[in-house]
Amino acid sequence: MKILSVVGTRPNFIKIAPLLKEMKKVPQIETRLVHTGQHYDREMSDAFFKDLNLPVPDWYLGVGPGSPASQIGEIMMRLEPVLSKCQPNVVLVVGDVNSTLAAALAAAKTGIPVVHVEAGLRSFDRTMPEEINRILTDALADLLFASEPSGVENLRWEGIHSSRIFLAGNVMIDTLRQYLPFAESSICLTDLDGDLETPVPPKYAVLTLHRQGLVDNPQRLMRVWNVMEEIGNEIPIIFPVHPRTRLRLEDAGLKPQRGNGFGNAGGIRMVAPLSYLQFISLQRQAVMVMTDSGGVQEETTVLGVPCLTLRENTERPITVTEGTNMLVGLNPERIRAEAFRLLSGPRKIARVPPLWDGHASERIVKSICEWFDGRTRSPQAEVKSAA
């Protein structure tokens, strides 16, 4: 069985790493890897391949930046000859980025079965580009692996037959559990120009921002930034800046001041993007994390670190109902109140969700092999066997 995996962004790299490792254990699986180039700079791509011991991609498409429509179209055009040459039995995609949808579309158009890992997640907010990607990828997929029970429920509600749905657990947590012992206990933070390092303070919060709905809205971004400055007066905030977010901050006049440490800019230290191991180390030692990222909600839940999600919704509800996550929206008063409550009060009682045990990839690869061999299971047995 020849499996062609397609990745393009940092979250994809984290999710595909344990799957590739597991597939290599199976003699009858031949793996091939495509990197679309959606995340193309060193901090967002090369450093993650190194940290996660990912193989050199068999194909690098070099797509680069662009609008969602142009990116998806370009990936499809560049991927089509790869599919023709490789002739895979399965195309495997992970997550919800443009590369995920583009690969699913290209495979479906050429009659190649699609496997979607992290299927069924829904924010029910179609203004989010990722939500459209999720819905369409799941509609095209032949096998769908959910990371939490809400994903199974959503897929069934959308009419996908239960025999194609597997509750497998969270592959991102597979990677976290594997590499957590290797995460650096102490790191230095490099400024955005790459030539100034600042040691991590003993007590700090972490901030990440990258969602289009937040960073592309100047008024919304400014309101969030102002409340971050207030919080930063109470505790230093370390802010690894996504390249796209940096451009939006500069457009809004929020340029970092070189050498400012934590003394200026409201105690917010904007630093260059971190490697995977650095960011995990930063999260696990933080007092709290404030984010608009989906993956960070999951990582903080397993690390036991309080998380304030700067969104009105989440496609990962289990991080709220069982984990450390709290949805605080974009209202500055709510953000401020919850942040100060965390700084002065007890932490939320939370637990790690079932099947987030570091073995999701094993369950997924086993199920793919059984499916490929022509075996069938009852809908109830699928969920029970994975659990």
Catalytic residues: 210
Task: Give the residue carrying structure tokens 């069938």.
Answer: 376
**Alpha-carbon gap, residue 99 to 133, rounded angstroms:** 9
DSSP 24: T
The answer to whether 86 touches 2, Cβ cutoff 8 Å, is yes
Q: Cite the beta strand spans of the chain per DSSP E.
A: 2-7, 30-35, 59-60, 90-94, 114-119, 143-146, 165-167, 188-190, 197-199, 205-208, 237-240, 268-271, 288-291, 307-309, 325-327
DSSP classification of residue 349: P
Compute CA 265 distance to the chain's CA centroid, rounded to the nearest angstrom.
28
Q: Percent helix, strand and coil across the chain, each rounded to 5?
A: 45, 15, 40
| Encoded amino acid at 36, one letter | T
Confirm if 289 and 305 have CB atoms less than 8 A apart.
yes
Q: CA nearest 75: which of 128, 28, 133? A: 133
